[in-house]
Amino acid sequence: MVKELIIWRGSQYSTKVIAALHTKGLKPEADYRLRSAPNGLEERKKLLPAPYTVPVLRWDDEIISGSDNICRFLDKQLSSAPPLYPAASDGEVRRLEEAAAALYWTNGWLSTIDPVGMEEWSGQRARNAVAKGEVGKLAKFAQAVLPQKTFGRVMHGVVQKDFRAFLRRRGEETGSEAPARLADERDSAKVLDEARTLLRVLDDALVASPTPYCCGSATPTAADLTLYGMLERWLGDSLCPGMNGASTPTIADGMAGVTAAWQAMRKTFRPDIDLHDLKDYKDLEEPITGPTTFPPSE
């Protein structure tokens, strides 16, 4: 029987689903296989179902794309495990899940375009990749001949350009104003402010909740898990200790609800879901053929 999750390490929605599976009692490698998808969109189109994003879950004959669909599927499939959308607060959890997903663009900006955030989030990972020859001979040569600081600036320039192009494309695809606008934004303080304003929506809901999680839930809901994916980038290490770091460690300062949820989830999930020492983590070998099966089409 196939239980396989296709991810990118460092991806916020992949982190969310790995944590959702943990909430349902399933741990990576012990209970399901993890596979990586290629970075390039054209390659992903050959291997993944539309819309060609990660995460994708294969569960026996079912194919599910998108973290929200996967969470819904897990509630249906594993209904006696803690619910990700508790019945009594389903609508509110969905609203807060969307509010947490709205953090995605500023979360990516502050950990990729912001120079300090990028260095803290993935400077070490980039240097490891170059040292291992994973990013091509030219980068290795550039690292050998350029002073460390100049090399860092060159690498950051490439990553920044890619991420701005990604924001532009996703802005066009989704019609959302935030990614299109952030693609041309240059002011880190402004983006930090915008991110904190969005984060306060979650903080208000969490402060009002009698438990550390949204809507009085005893266990993390899909909304908390979406937030967790973002916070692993800002405050944690994206599940890869020693490779990734906290891009924006002060972002939740003064937000008691977000801070308590973050601490509770970190304690619950780690180190069970650390991804730095995987034994069976490989690229996806076979294309996932056929359309997604859940939610069923009408």
CB of 264 vs ligand GSH, minimal distance in Å: 22
Write down the least CB distance from residue 67 to ligand GSH, Å.
4
Q: CB nearer to ligand GSH: give 102 or 255.
A: 102
CB of 193 to ligand GSH, least distance (A): 23
Q: With 0-12 CB in 10 A as exposed, 13-18 as middle and 19+ as buried, what is 77?
A: middle
The amino acid that residue 184 corresponds to is: D
Give 67 or 111: the residue with its C-beta nearer to ligand GSH. Answer: 67
Considering the complex, what minimum distance in angstroms separates the CB of residue 223 from ligand GSH? 12
Toward ligand GSH, which CB reaches closer, 58 or 255?
Answer: 58
Residue showing the smallest CB distance to ligand GSH in the complex: 53
Please, are residues 178 and 105 in contact by the beta-carbon 8 Å criterion? yes
CB of 11 to ligand GSH, least distance (A): 3
Which lies closer to ligand GSH via its Cβ, residue 148 or residue 297?
A: 297
Q: Within 13 Å and on the Cβ side, how many CA atoms surround 204?
A: 8
By the criterion CB under 6 A, which residues form the site for ligand GSH? 8, 11-13, 41, 53-55, 66-68, 170
Nearest to 239 by CA among 125, 87, 95: 125
If the CB atoms of residues 171 and 212 are measured against ligand GSH, the closer one turns out to be 171
- Rounded Cα gap, residues 270 and 203, in angstroms: 22
Nearer to ligand GSH, 103 or 255 (CB): 103
Convert 165-175 to b/e letters by CB count within 10 Å (16 or more is b).
eebeebbeeee
| Residue 3 beta carbon to ligand GSH: minimum distance, rounded to whole angstroms | 18
